[in-house]
């Protein structure tokens, strides 16, 4: 089995250590310079933060299981801190138990975007409201003038959607969360729907469509269609994911 | 097949009409005066609002399918308005397709409470904070000084929990919503978790524990244990439940 | 000049120390057992928390300036912690600069309630909504089904009103904050209005009217009238009140 | 006395009518094509929405009193609808009672921005958090990772700030409202402070600074200083401003 190592620009030294460590416990391993090749490995170790993992996932449709070593700020998607990776990584590889999380597939002007956390549709001009209509399985559930809207997975509920009044959703409760950014309206609600629902977002002026904060398309071509992707993201299993979320959220300054 | 009719005090006249109507289309039927007998019927027609249905459910562990005719304010659990029940009820009985929704079972001082919407744990003294600790599968997720806390089903997300900053949850997304009432704290979040989670609520002074707004226990005996009940509530199927919620919520003054 | 000392039941020892200290720096002083007599002193030292000060204020229309030594949880109204009172109290008495804060006067069934923080109007039955109408200078600004409503001063914005989605208001910005408790409604807003506005609260069932969490009247006699009182609360001046609020709010668990 | 008429591009026809009307009741009047000249008139009539008035104010330090005829969506700053302007405008000019509202002066890289509603400081890259520190009179009240922050007047509380969880503030309660846009943080609060407070906003990456949605400066030069301007905005008096806000807010779709 061959592992690939991906690192955030400031974490190269730790990546080298991980490389040596993997070899020392009997795995083939190499540092991946061209992230487009990441799909070819049997497993991936990411040295970085949630941002690094999300960026990597933009290169992966088929996704080998990921183990994350946190060198970022919060690291909800990572498995451990740099000072404890030896034991945790060895155990994870020994067990090789994985879990997978739904991603969203969004269609924007015939292009497809994949996101683990969320798709954000944001007005392209600062401080100018856009008019957004939200449809769930063709039922028009809301029309809002706002700065934008997020369509998030349960995993994304602790990412951007945390900022917008959404709930924290159990990572194991596969679901889609829909929540506006700065809605100019007295009454609105976040929606949490089953993952088999198809979401349609219509709008009246130019927007940025942003997948996981990493891939951006500028468009004025409405609508955007969003549904569960068949390409899951795979991670090494984390027993205490809920507990970890609780602790990490507390630690946000 | 024999139907039982339950009515809200102000809806007796319509209940009588429904009785005649059921007979006219070939069903046995009678008005139920003693709600404890409701479990013995093949189906139930409730003439009232959500409150009437919730009150009836307090009498039902095993639950025949319910058809609701709305004579209340909002009627999210009902199937139609009084002027359209003939066609809708006839159709429902002809198809006899039912759907079921999880209820919560709460243990308070060896007593068990069943609720379709929510269990509310509310401080017994007005304007006095209680100290509440929330555990999800033994993970302590929050400690809050507040007026109380709600543990709600997805169905209950449009009931009491709507008042407390919770999201609207897809009726088909079986889940448990946990949300405080008036938390004295800068930071908190509603939680939405899988229905197999076990919730424990601990507190430091006397509380009212209220099931669906109808059954109340006063206790200072902490903790309260809440989990998914094996007794579902059954309803005749409603195709457009999501659309109905959208419309009904809009109509709240 | 003669000082009176008021203490929370668990702070008697410190109160005795304060008594000795006041004498040692040349003031007459005594511990006040009958709080109804508190108005007769030239200044008051309270050893307790915000709750003790609020309770004391229920006995005071005319209010000598108060100096608070915090033995409670948060102590936003207090001037210092027990380990620093000697210097702070000596300074305060030497300068004798006072500041005053508006109180609200509420009329309930011909009785008058005075409150520094807020008047809470809360449904008397747990988990039962009340229908509340809010008028500002006879303009009906909202009708809400909710658990209750708070009419708060700017000082009260960091007390009960903090729990209900209200803003933090500058202690020096004399104003009235109106905010519902658990509103069953998609759209509502806290209101902040000038202190010369007259508020009228109408409701449809029995409520508790609670002044500063300490004095409670049960009534079904609508409406309640609320306006700025001519009886201010007086405190020794605190230069860094805003900074103190910031720090204290952060410290809430 | 000479009136100047300003119009939104789609309201020219009504502007012409207003011109004739003003002449017919004995006033000099002309349509203003160059808005920089607007300060020279004795009064101004704006045919447009809030946006038109806000845009006009960008041209006015010294501000003649404004009368607004609403041809926009909400029109909180306008005095009447197009079908009722004759009576209302005639009355306003006969009485010539004016009221004034504070504006904010913001200093960005030696440039000064004036705003009646708010200054918005918004991250320049979509879906990328900025790190913002807020100081009130040099007291650091919050540090937030967010999409941006609004510093608003009481008048602006029903504009952009309405979208971000701020309260509705009495138009007559001169005050400054500070509220983040999409704060990535469990705990935060809108702040309402006295109008003599000086606000300082520091940040860690490029932002757009937007005055009233109309004038935008892109900068990475922190900090931005915001204080009450000596240049008020003047309007013809509106007796029922509060009532009008209540009605207009209800009407937002």
pLDDT in tens, D162-216: 999 899 999 999 999 999 999 998 888 999 999 999 999 999 999 999 999 999 9
pLDDT at position A154 is 98
Which of C136, C165, C167 has the CB atom closest to D192's CB atom?
Answer: C167
Quick check: A49 pLDDT over 90?
yes
Taking each helix axis as running N to C, give the angle between helix A12-24 and helix A85-95, from 0 to 180 degrees, rounded to the nearest 10: 50
Chains A, C: CB pairs < 8 Å = 12
pLDDT for D123 equals 95
Contacts of B124 in chain C (CB under 8 A): 126
Q: How near does any CA of chain D get to the CA of A90, in Å?
A: 34
Query: Tokens 């079972």 identify what position?
Result: B105
CA-CA distance, A247 to C137, in Å (whole number)?
47
Q: Catalytic one among C10, C37, C42, C50?
A: C50
**CA of B231, closest CA in chain D: separation in Å?**
36
Say whether C165 and D165 touch across the interface (CB within 8 A): yes
Any idea which residue has 């009722």 for tokens? D84
Q: Which residue of B has its CA nearest to A164?
A: B189
Residue A33 pLDDT class (50, 70, 90 cuts): very high
Asked if C50 is an active-site residue, the reply is: yes
What number is the average pLDDT over the span A38-61? 97
DSSP three-state, residue C21: helix
In sequence order, what are the beta bridge partners of B53?
Answer: none
Q: What residue of B is the nearest CA neighbor of C150? A: B127
Q: What is the mean pLDDT of chain A?
A: 95
| Helix D85-95 and helix D12-24, axial crossing angle in degrees, nearest 10 | 50
- CB-defined contacts B:D, below 8 A: 12
Confidence of residue C253 (pLDDT cuts 50, 70, 90): low
Cβ-nearest to A175 among B157, B173, B242: B173
Check if the beta carbon of residue C168 is closer than 8 Å to that of residue D189: yes
The candidate with the shortest Cα–Cα distance to A116, out of A176, A51, A56, A57, is A57
Residue A23 confidence (pLDDT) above 90? yes
- Give the one of D122, D185, D208 whose C-beta lies nearest to A252's C-beta: D185
CA B46 – CA B50 distance, rounded (Å): 9
* Cα C50 to Cα C55: distance, rounded to the nearest angstrom: 8
Q: Tell me which of C150, C160, C168, C182 to substitute to probe the interface with B (most B C-beta atoms closer than 10 Å).
A: C182
For B243-249, what is the mean pLDDT? 87
Q: Is D4 within 8 Å of D41 (Cβ atoms)?
A: yes
User: Mean pLDDT for chain D?
Assistant: 95
**Chain B residues lying within 8 Å of D189, measured CB to CB:** 186
pLDDT reported for residue D3? 98
pLDDT higher than threshold 70 for residue D253: no
B68: left (phi over 0), alpha (psi -120 to 50) or beta: beta
> Helix, strand, or coil here: C41?
coil
* pLDDT tier at A253, thresholds 50, 70, 90: low
Out of D10, D42, D50, D147, pick the active-site residue. Answer: D50
The pair of structure tokens assigned to D168 is 């509705």
Share of chain C above pLDDT 70, in %: 100
Residues paired with C70 in a beta bridge: C48
Arithmetic mean of pLDDT, B180-199 = 93
| Chain D contact present for B252, CB below 8 A | no
CA distance C19 to chain B (A): 31
Instruction: Return the higher-pLDDT residue of A186 and A152.
Output: A152
Q: Which of A122-126, D11-15, D55-59 has the lowest mean pLDDT?
A: A122-126
| Helix, strand, or coil (residue C53) | helix
The residue of chain C nearest to residue B250, with distances taken between CA atoms, is C186
Give pLDDT, residue D20: 98
C-alpha to C-alpha distances, A10 to A5, A15, A47, A52, C47, nearest whole angstrom = 14, 10, 9, 11, 53
pLDDT reported for residue A150: 98
Chains that touch B (3 or more CB pairs under 8 A): A, C, D
D67 pLDDT above the threshold of 70: yes
- Give residue A79's pLDDT: 96
Give yes or no for residue A242 having a pLDDT over 90.
no
Minimum distance, in Å, between the CA of residue A162 and any CA atom of chain D: 6
SS3 category, A160 = helix
pLDDT digits (tens, 9 = 90+) for B119-129: 999 999 988 89
Distance in angstroms (rounded) separating the CA atoms of residues A160 and D146: 9
Check CB contact under 8 Å for C252 and B183. no
C2 Cβ neighbours under 8 A, 6+ residues apart: C27, C28, C29, C30, C41, C42
Record the tokens describing residue D136, joined without a space: 């009130």
Chains that touch A (3 or more CB pairs under 8 A): B, C, D
Nearest neighbour of C146 by CB, restricted to B147, B163, B213: B163
Summarize the confidence of residues D224-247 as an average pLDDT: 94
Q: Does C189 touch chain A (CB under 8 A)?
A: yes
**Scanning every residue of chain D, which has its alpha carbon at the shortest distance from the alpha carbon of A133?**
D253
Q: How confident is the model at residue A72 (pLDDT cuts 50, 70, 90)?
A: very high
Chain D residues with CB under 8 Å of C242 CB are: 136-137, 139, 141, 193
Burial of B66-80, coded b for 16+ CB within 10 Å and e otherwise, reads bbbbbbbebbbbbbb
Percentage of chain D beyond pLDDT 70 is 100
Residues of B tagged active-site: 50
Percent of the residues in chain B that have a pLDDT greater than 70, as a whole number: 100
C155-213 tens-digit pLDDT: 999 999 999 989 999 999 999 999 999 999 888 899 999 999 999 999 999 999 999 99
Longest dimension (CA), chain D: 60
CA distance C163 to chain B (A): 4
Please check whether residue B244 is in contact with residue B80, taking contact to mean a CB–CB distance below 8 angstroms: no
CA dist., res. C185 & res. B48, Å (int): 21
Across the interface, of B126, B164, B216, the residue whose CB is closest to C210 is B126
List the A233-236 sheet strands across, edge first.
A28-31, A2-7, A43-48, A66-70, A233-236, A98-101
Probe site for chain A from B189, B248, B252 (most A CB atoms < 10 A):
B189
Residues B238, B101: Cα–Cα separation, whole Å: 12
Strands B207-211 and B118-123, bridge-based pairing: antiparallel
The interface pTM score, or ipTM, of the predicted complex is: 0.95
For the segment B49-65, what is each residue's pLDDT rounded down to a tens digit?
A: 999 999 999 999 999 99
Bond from prior residue into A223 cis (ω within 30 degrees of 0): yes
Sign, Cα dihedral of B138, B144, B145, B148: negative
DSSP label of D167: P
The pLDDT tens digits of the residues spanning C30-77 come to: 999 999 999 999 999 999 999 999 999 999 999 999 999 999 988 999
pLDDT, tens digit (0-9, with 9 covering 90-100), for A78-118: 999 999 999 999 999 999 999 999 999 999 999 999 999 99
Residue D147 contacts by C-beta under 8 Å, 6 or more apart in sequence? A147, A163, A181, A182, D122, D123, D129, D130, D180, D181, D182
The model's pLDDT over A184-225, given as tens digits with 9 standing for 90+, comes to: 988 889 999 999 999 999 999 999 999 999 999 999 999 999
Q: Inform me whether the C-beta atom of residue B133 falls under 8 Å from chain A C-beta atoms.
A: no
| 3-class secondary structure, A151 | strand
Q: How confident is the model at residue B253 (pLDDT cuts 50, 70, 90)?
A: low
Calculate helix-pair angle for C12-24, C85-95, nearest 10 degrees: 50
Residue D187: its chain B contacts at CB < 8 A? 185-188
The Cα–Cα gap between B125 and C216 comes to 10
Task: Name the token pair of C161.
Answer: 């009103």
Strand partners, B142: B134
Q: What is the pLDDT of residue A239?
A: 86
Say if residue C138's pLDDT is above 70. Answer: yes
Residue A14: is its pLDDT beyond 70?
A: yes
pLDDT tens digits along D150-165: 999 999 999 999 999 8
Find the CB nearest B252 among C165, C184, C208. Answer: C184
Burial letters for A107-130: b for 16+ Cβ neighbours within 10 Å, e otherwise?
ebeeeebbbbbbbbbbbeebbebb
């Amino acid at each position: 089995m061959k592992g690939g190592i991906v690192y955030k620009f400031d974490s190269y030294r730790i990546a080298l250590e991980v490389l040596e460590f993997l070899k020392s416990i009997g795995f083939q391993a190499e540092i991946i310079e061209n992230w487009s090749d990441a799909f070819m490995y049997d497993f991936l170790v990411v040295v970085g933060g949630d941002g690094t993992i999300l960026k990597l996932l933009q290169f992966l449709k088929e996704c080998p299981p990921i183990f994350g070593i946190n060198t970022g700020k919060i690291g909800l998607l990572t498995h451990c801190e740099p000072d404890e990776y030896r034991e945790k990584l060895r155990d994870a590889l020994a067990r090789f138990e994985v879990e997978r999380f739904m991603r969203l597939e969004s269609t924007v002007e015939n292009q497809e975007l994949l996101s683990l956390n969320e798709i954000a549709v944001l007005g392209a001009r600062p401080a100018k409201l856009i008019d957004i209509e939200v449809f769930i399985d063709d039922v028009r559930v809301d029309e809002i003038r706002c700065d934008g809207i997020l369509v998030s997975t349960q995993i994304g509920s602790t990412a951007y959607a945390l900022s917008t009044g959404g709930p924290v959703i159990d990572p194991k409760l596969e679901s889609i969360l829909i929540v506006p950014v700065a809605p100019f309206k007295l009454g609105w609600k976040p929606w949490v729907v089953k993952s088999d629902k198809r979401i349609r977002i219509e709008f009246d002026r130019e927007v940025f469509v942003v997948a996981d904060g990493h891939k951006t398309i500028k468009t004025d071509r409405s609508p955007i269609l969003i549904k569960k992707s068949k390409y899951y993201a795979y991670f090494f299993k984390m027993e205490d994911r809920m507990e970890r979320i609780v602790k990490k959220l507390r630690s946000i300054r």
